[in-house]
Amino acid sequence: MSPAARGGLLRRHRDFRLLWSGETAGKFGASVTGVALPLIAVSDLHASTFEIGLLNAAAWAPWLVIGLPAGVWVDRLPRRPIMLATAAASLLLFAAVPLADRLGHLSIGLLLAVSLLTGTAAVLFQTAYTAYLPGLLDPADQPEGNAKLHGSASAAQLAGLGSGGLIAQFAGAVNGMFANAATFLVSLVCLSRIRHRETPAPRKERALRREVGEGLRLVAGDRWLRTLTLFGAASNLALMGYQSIQVAFLIREVGLASGTVGGLIAAGASGGIAGAFAARRVAARIGTARAMLLFELGLPGLALLIPLTTDGVGVLLYVTGGFSVSAGVVAGNVLKSGFQQSYCPPELLGRLSASAAVLNYGTIPLGAVLAGVLGTTLGLRPAMWIATAGVPLAALILLFSPVGRTRDFPAARTRSTAGTSARSTSTPA
């Protein structure tokens, strides 16, 4: 019986349902934090624009420090225990923020430390989770699994952003961290109940440096992986640039209340749900590579509406721009995840994920700091213009690469698809 005939994954696959629930809860909590931490910094600690940018940068800086060895560790060790340990660490760290406030020790330094340490946990969790999914699902189920996980992540982000603003308005931004800690408790319980146990193939232990090098060479030597990684790095630089200062922009420049800011950001983020729903359907009609261009170059062009945001009816400009960017980014992530999981050998997925993520996410702290500097020196609105313009410009990397000349991504990695000068085996555009 085909997977479709047996119903969706959430109905028929208990372990995937638990993984989905745990990941969705964690994403919800992380989204609450994405609003709560900057609001704590702005409202309770009166932080500067640069300090807000630094706070966002701290969450992503661990990718530059441990991202590459994390891929090797994940390939050497069972992935589920890594996810359990990092979820527990995140729970304790986020709960420490409101406790420190009650003891009178809340400071920007503490927020930076929590952001840095939970960012470290996120590096290990995401690398392990990305490599764990293909072992949990049959190949035929992986596209559906990716779409459901990305779609639920967007829905959780939507709910978390809105909840973060409402919690800040009615109970205080600091109390939002208790809600975040509770979501990681849910995640921890769900992950602990998964019955699937990995049976990694025995492999000869080799030097860490050599295995890290394998992952980097895989990304650098393959034109498809190299293109997607370079695009991700450029795109994340611009995305984090405007996202790291959007709370300050909407409160200080547009003049909105904290609760309104959370709801507005949530409305923009709702595009991610639409993107996850549309990704596979659009790709089936026009091809995976063409769909990637549509989602990553076409839709994000509306990001330029965001700096035009004003109070009143003008907030619809933010919603339109944010919705389009979110839809494009999430749909692109669904397509990229499915491609990498079918294209890369399973034993290298951890290193591929980590190597690509170091380059992709390594630009995120740079984008956050750069936006903070631009916001301080030029003003928040000019900084938003510069950052949002970078979102569609980054996709030109895709347009002038093999992605722009083909209909579909290759289904599997071969010598011809990996080569830098060989012709593509996918259908030409």
The full set of domain ranges for the chain reads 10-195+206-418
What integer is the mean pLDDT of 285-304?
91
- Helical packing angle, 208-221 and 223-243, nearest 10°: 90
Range scoring the smallest mean pLDDT among 131-135, 168-172, 292-296: 168-172
Q: Is the pLDDT of residue 165 over 80?
A: no
- pLDDT category of residue 414 using cuts at 50, 70 and 90: low
pLDDT for residue 320: 94
Instruction: Take residue 181 and report the two structure tokens written for it.
Output: 């800690």
Tell me what the pLDDT averaged over the chain comes to: 80
Q: What is the architecture, at CATH level 2, of domain 10-195+206-418?
A: Up-down Bundle (1.20)
Rounded distance between C-alpha atoms, residue 143 and residue 196, angstroms: 19
Q: 297: which DSSP letter?
A: I
pLDDT at 157: 64
CA distances to 18, 30, 35, 178, 242 from 158, in Å: 21, 11, 11, 18, 18
Query: In angstroms, how far is the first alpha carbon of the chain from the final one?
Result: 35
| 287 pLDDT tier (thresholds 50, 70, 90) | very high
Q: What is the mean pLDDT of residues 394-414?
A: 85
**Position 84, amino acid:** L
The two tokens of residue 249 are 């922009």
Indicate whether 204 pLDDT > 60. Answer: no
Task: Tell me which of 357 and 82 has the higher pLDDT.
Answer: 82
- Of the listed ranges 285-289, 350-354, 368-372, the least confidently predicted one is 350-354
User: Rounded distance, CA 387 to CA 382, Å?
Assistant: 9
Predicted local distance difference test score (pLDDT) of residue 423: 30
More confident residue, 411 or 405: 405
pTM of the predicted structure, to 2 decimals: 0.66
Three-state DSSP class for residue 401: coil
Rg of the chain taking only CA atoms, in angstroms: 21
The three-state secondary structure class of 323 is helix
Q: Residue 3's pLDDT is what?
A: 46
Confidence of residue 2 (pLDDT cuts 50, 70, 90): very low
245: Cβ contacts below 8 Å, ≥ 6 apart? 49, 52, 53, 371, 372, 375, 380, 383, 384, 387
Task: Report the share of the chain in percent with pLDDT over 70.
Answer: 82
Query: In the predicted model, is pLDDT for residue 284 greater than 50?
Result: yes
Highest mean pLDDT of the ranges 150-164, 190-204, 241-255, 331-345? 241-255
Where b means 16+ CB within 10 Å and e means fewer, 292-311 reads bbbbbbebbbbbbbbbebee
- DSSP-assigned letters across all residues of 105-148: ---HHHHHHHHHHHHHHHHHHHHHHHHHHHHHS-GGGHHHHHHH
Which among 67, 377, 96 is positioned nearest to 232, based on CA atoms? 67
Q: In this predicted model, what pLDDT tens digit does every residue of 21-31 receive, in sequence order?
A: 888 888 787 77
